[in-house]
Amino acid sequence: MKLGMIDYGRGNLHSVINACQALGHEPVLVTKPTELADLTHIIFPGQGAFGDCMDSLNRLGLTKALRDWIAADKPYFGICVGYQLLFEASEESHGTAGLSIIPGTVKRFTSSGIKIPHMGWNSVDLKTPDSRIWQDFENDPYFYFVHSFYPVGVPSDVISVTCEYGEENFCAAIEKGNLFATQFHPEKSQHAGLKLLGNFLNR
């Protein structure tokens, strides 16, 4: 396998690179479409605003390349904004279209009495426990979250896990074929996060 990591100038690259190296993989950075050619897996680590990230992808010419990669059912792991960009739009950046791979819109938390951003450890409820991505996991594993927005209108057949925060029970990960993406940060989630990344890389 050959692992690539999308570098759009804003992602939390170093932590994700360190996690991959701990698993015995050395990712190469991807900043233009031609660099996807020889890859077998890609990770899209997320950090930053929805609109800024889409602007960066468009500027680098990576928008169509990522759509084509996912349409070909090649292994993709999106993290945080790399998860949110898979949807059609976000309240964070009105007028900016996402990759529109999965139906749904990203909205801000509205529950009263909660801290925003949602930051810290939270358990998740596995909806696809028999999937290879969740191999050797028991239900209700804990992962580390840092976000103020989450997707709504997500088709039930792609929801991989949900998470409760305040009054909202939101979709915290999706899976469709070889596409997998999470709102939480596996690279900050210690043993559980490494296990999840390992399951993706070894699929």
Q: How far apart are CA 89 and CA 43, in angstroms?
A: 21
Structural domain span for residue 158: 3-201
pLDDT at 12: 72
| pTM of this prediction exceeds 0.75 | yes
Q: How many domains does the chain have?
A: 1
Decide if pLDDT at 89 tops 70: yes
Annotated catalytic residues are 80, 185, 187
Q: Residue 130: which CATH number?
A: 3.40.50.880
Tens of pLDDT, residues 8-21: 887 678 999 999 99
Own/partner pairs, 66-70, CB within 8 angstroms, 24+ separation: 66/6, 66/99, 67/99, 67/101, 69/36, 69/42, 70/99, 70/101, 70/179
Beta pairing class for 41-44 and 28-30: unpaired
- Percent of the chain residues past pLDDT 90, beyond the cut: 92
